[in-house]
């Protein structure tokens, strides 16, 4: 056996105990305890309209709070595999609790709706997102939503009504509108609030500039938020752009972006990993198809978990269509596609 030198002995430092081991031990004592991770106990699960389930969560002391319109990432273990998805908060900070509404169409949403119960503990992220109302806003507010896009609108409506006496108008398209009792309560409390809920099973009406003019004639003067199905988002964005009021529109989509119709295979190099692959569509999915596992979260360009530095090449933002050929700029892999050879510092 080779003896240790004096230098090796003097420079020896014991390894720190791994954080995940400490979290495991703490979790055995109390499922909510953790060194740094945010965990939350499910206080209540209730079925609401539109096929949704509403979960009320009590977070541990690591949660730093939120503002209306933001979302959290929820992580759950299903059959030994960790899955993550983002959910808008339908509660307001003043309530002291977190509420999310889930439509059980995917793995995580179905798990939350059918397999969690009061007392269950899940892991969540800090609140994120820019789909928020400025606390000093004094403009009238217009909220346009369809389907599950209604979830951030409830908290935004409450905040807008509480901080100003300006009109707040909701235009909501759904086959089975959710939160009707909550919106009716807001109408009773705030005379400046108007809600137009269009049941798309009972009428063929869809969003149009003509319908908008009837519901909110002075919409050009409003700060507008839109969230919902792809068709609604596209129609609203196109109309605001043609009207020259795009700067007054704040949008958020719950759907992953689609690849451009003219997208072609492009060589992408992950420089530090020394891996190269052909990418069609977004860089995250292309990397996964090549056997790589970049960090990611929402897969919709919201959470910024997959942000990496592009060192060279041209990419296209799938949400905006904007091309970027700058060097050493951050890109979100899940909404970025290569246009020709691209190098990523990953």
Q: What is the mean pLDDT of residues 246-257?
A: 79
pLDDT beyond 90 at 117 = yes
* Pair of tokens at residue 287: 């990397």
Determine if the pTM surpasses 0.85. Answer: no
Q: Tell me what pLDDT residue 318 has.
A: 81
Q: Tell me what pLDDT residue 300 has.
A: 76
**Cα radius of gyration (the chain):** 23
Q: Tell me what pLDDT residue 172 has.
A: 96
Q: Tell me what pLDDT residue 190 has.
A: 96
What are the chain's domains? 19-124 (2.40.30.10), 141-252 (3.40.50.80), 266-345 (3.10.20.30)
Which of 110-124, 228-242, 293-307 shows the lowest mean pLDDT across its residues? Answer: 293-307
Closest CA to 160 of 198, 130, 127, 190: 190
What is the C-alpha to C-alpha distance for residues 63 and 254, in angstroms, rounded to an integer? 23
Find all residues with CB under 8 Å of 76, minimum gap 6, and list them.
Answer: 82, 83, 84, 108, 111, 112, 122, 123
The phi and psi torsions of 307 (rounded to 5 degrees) equal: -65, 130
Angle, alpha carbons 320-265-238 (nearest 5°): 20
- Residue 37 banded pLDDT, cuts 50, 70, 90: confident
Closest CA to 336 of 327, 320, 95: 320
Which of 73-87, 119-133, 148-162 shows the lowest mean pLDDT across its residues? Answer: 73-87
In contact, 104 and 114? CB cutoff 8 Å: yes
Kindly report the number of other CB atoms within 10 A of residue 162's CB atom: 12
Q: Strand, coil or helix: what is 8?
A: helix
What is the C-alpha to C-alpha distance for residues 59 and 31, in angstroms, rounded to an integer? 11
pLDDT beyond 80 at 260 = no
Find all residues with CB under 8 Å of 318, minimum gap 6, and list them.
Answer: 257, 258, 259, 260, 282, 301, 335, 336, 337
205 DSSP 8-state letter: -
Q: What is the mean pLDDT of residues 287-302?
A: 80
Q: Tell me what pLDDT residue 12 has.
A: 46
Q: Tell me what pLDDT residue 224 has.
A: 97
Going through 15-70 in order, the beta strands assigned E by DSSP cover: 38-47, 53-59
């Amino acid at each position: 056996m080779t003896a240790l030198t004096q230098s090796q002995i003097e420079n020896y430092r014991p390894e720190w105990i791994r954080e995940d081991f400490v979290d495991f031990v703490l979790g055995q004592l109390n499922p909510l305890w953790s060194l740094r991770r945010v965990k939350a106990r499910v206080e209540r699960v209730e079925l609401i309209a539109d096929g949704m389930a509403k979960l009320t969560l009590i977070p541990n002391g690591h949660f730093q709070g939120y503002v209306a319109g933001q979302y959290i990432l929820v992580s759950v273990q299903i059959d030994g595999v960790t899955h993550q998805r983002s959910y808008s908060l339908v509660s307001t900070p003043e309530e002291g609790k977190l509420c999310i509404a889930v439509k059980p169409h995917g793995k995580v949403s179905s798990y939350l709706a059918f397999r969690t119960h009061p007392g269950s503990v899940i892991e969540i992220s800090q609140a994120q997102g820019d789909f928020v109302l400025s606390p000093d806003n004094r403009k009238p507010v217009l909220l346009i939503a369809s389907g599950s896009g209604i979830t951030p609108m409830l908290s935004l409506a409450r905040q807008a009504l509480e901080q100003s006496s300006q009109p707040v108008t909701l235009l909501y398209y759904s086959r089975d509108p959710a939160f009707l009792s909550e919106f009716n309560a807001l109408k009773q409390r705030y005379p400046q609030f108007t809600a137009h809920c269009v049941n798309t099973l009972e009428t063929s009406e869809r969003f149009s500039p003509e319908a908008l003019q009837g519901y909110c004639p002075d919409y050009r003067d409003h700060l507008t938020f839109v969230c919902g199905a792809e068709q609604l988002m596209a129609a609203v964005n196109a109309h605001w752009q043609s009207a020259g009021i795009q700067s007054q529109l704040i949008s958020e989509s719950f759907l992953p972006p689609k690849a451009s119709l003219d997208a072609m295979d492009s060589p992408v190099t992950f420089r530090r990993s020394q891996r190269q692959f052909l990418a069609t569509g977004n860089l995250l999915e292309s990397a996964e198809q090549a056997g790589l596992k970049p960090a990611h979260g929402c897969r919709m360009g919201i959470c910024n978990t997959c942000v990496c530095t592009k060192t060279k090449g041209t990419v296209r933002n799938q949400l905006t269509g904007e091309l970027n050929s700058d060097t050493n700029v951050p890109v979100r892999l899940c909404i970025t596609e290569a246009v020709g050879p691209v190098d990523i510092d990953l």
